[in-house]
Amino acid sequence: MTKPIRAQSPLKFLAPHFNPLVLAAIYRLLPFYLRAQCQIERVEGENSEILVDCYRRFQAGQLRFLLAYRHSSTNDPPSLIHYLHTNLPKMAANEGISLNKPVFGYFLYDRGIPLWAGPVANWLLPAIGGVPVIRGRPDFGCLRTLRHLYVRGQFPLAIAPEGYTNGHGELVSRLELGCAQTSFWCVEDLVAAGENQQVSIVPIGVRYQYLENPWPKIWQLCRAIERECGFPPGDGANRQLENSLSSREWNPAQQLTPEEEALLYPKLLRIAEYLLEQMESFYRRFHTAIQLEEQAAKLANLSPIEGLTLRLQGLMDAVLKMLEGYLQMQPHSGRNALATRDRNLIERAHDIEDTVWDWIYRRDVDIQTLSDVERGLADLVASEAHQHLWHMRWVENFVVVTGHYLQNKPTARRFAETLLMINALIHEITGKGQARPAIAPQKAIITVAEPLDVTARWHSTYQRDGAAKKQAVRELTSTLKKSLESMTNP
């Protein structure tokens, strides 16, 4: 039975307190975790000599830097930790360079993780150098800690500039400005202290390749999803497609043949159409605050894929508006501003999450001094607010979904990513909570790009005035995004 949600005191900032013994234990367990939980058999590196030199200079007191890594999957952090611990020291040794151990980085994590992962995560993440951040509002405790660690920390920082996992290994989401801004602050603090260390951002690409033919498992997952949607059993065309996918010689870059795509792609469209119809019907019937835009005229001239994308975007916008209305998020300047043309769906979702937390972790009252009646009402508010998080979660997970991602490049990786996202949504709806289906053994590939010189940008642009600061942050973020995109599918 689900544990009831009760009103609680405000969330405390979990200050990092790095413990090398805890990290050593993580290192011992990590290879088993990667194989058992992530299906990652090995981790490889590309351009590792760049990062070796950065760590050498960092440990010599010549450089402060930030690792800005792609984060499409929950497999990324453990893969990167393993790479820093295992691959990088070996590369350094081959070059005659001895790096001080551990080769590691302080990292940023969502403050919500310990809330669902439990007390172990509440203790473990700070013990290995994690810095928590509350999404959706300025988190001053986090910012102060990051700023201090960037300048004085034992390790570099490691931050995912996308801010969340989008489930698309070859699609970089919009980047947050934090990596650029904290890097400029680091230069500023070093200059104020009279120190001349250089500051750089090192873009890190993380991608995966299947080591065995994944199509049989992808096919099984597709058929399982069809059954959960109530579709009838397949016919001869299904058996023909299954045999074709299972017997092919595996090549990671290989795409479907036109004949295979003509059989498999419509199955995915059918699943997507069914789920979208069910979700639209659900919200129209049971959530009267939802006002779905009448889109018939717009859909008339669109392809099936474009039509599904438009309907999905409209549904997500309507769901967020419903939540914003329930949570009384009135339009005003600040973190709880309602939707405007320059506010994207993911920012609104994070604002909603933060407001829900305010209704659970109360900053406006002292929970300990409430009467029984007041406490009961506060618990009711917390419970109802928490239930609304479900709607925000599925929107957050589908923000970047478009049919074009798969249509433009029908590879096994993209089919698997799409089906896994759909499967996760179905299990959230049904409450089955099954483990993520295993597809095939894979390898993680960590790619290091050329560092971005923040110090030079600070001297040339950032320090001039307020407008120049904003321009420099935007330009550095744009350059970082282009660098990450260049490594998604080299």
Residues 252-272: tens digit of each pLDDT:
767 777 777 777 888 889 999
CA dihedral 413, 414, 418, 423 (to 10 degrees): -10
Residue 158 confidence (pLDDT) above 70: yes
pLDDT at 261: 75
Q: Which of 142, 178, 128 is nearest to 12 (CA)?
A: 142
Residues 332-353: tens digit of each pLDDT:
434 444 333 336 888 899 999 9
Q: Which amino acid is at 331?
A: P
Residues 425-482: tens digit of each pLDDT:
998 888 876 678 899 999 999 999 999 999 999 999 999 998 999 999 999 999 999 9
Distance CA 66, CA 365 (A): 39
Do 397 and 421 form a contact (C-beta atoms < 8 A)?
Answer: yes
Helix (H) or strand (E) holding 275: helix 258-286
- How much of the chain exceeds pLDDT 90, in percent? 68
pTM here is 0.91
Residues 9-68: tens digit of each pLDDT:
999 999 999 999 999 999 999 999 999 999 999 999 999 999 999 999 999 999 999 999
Q: What residues contact 288, with CB distance under 8 A and at least 6 apart? A: none
- How much of the chain exceeds pLDDT 70, in percent? 91
List of domains in the chain: 20-211+442-486 (3.40.1130.10), 215-430 (no CATH)
Q: Which amino acid is at 275?
A: L
Q: What residues contact 477, with CB distance under 8 A and at least 6 apart? A: 161, 175, 176, 177, 179, 180
Distance CA 317, CA 395 (A): 9
What's the sign of the alpha-carbon dihedral 57, 58, 60, 62?
A: positive
Do 199 and 64 form a contact (C-beta atoms < 8 A)?
Answer: yes
Residue 234 confidence (pLDDT) above 80: no
Do 157 and 146 form a contact (C-beta atoms < 8 A)?
Answer: yes
In this structure, what are the phi and psi dihedrals at residue 166, rounded to the nearest 5 degrees?
A: -105, -5
Distance CA 103, CA 90 (A): 11
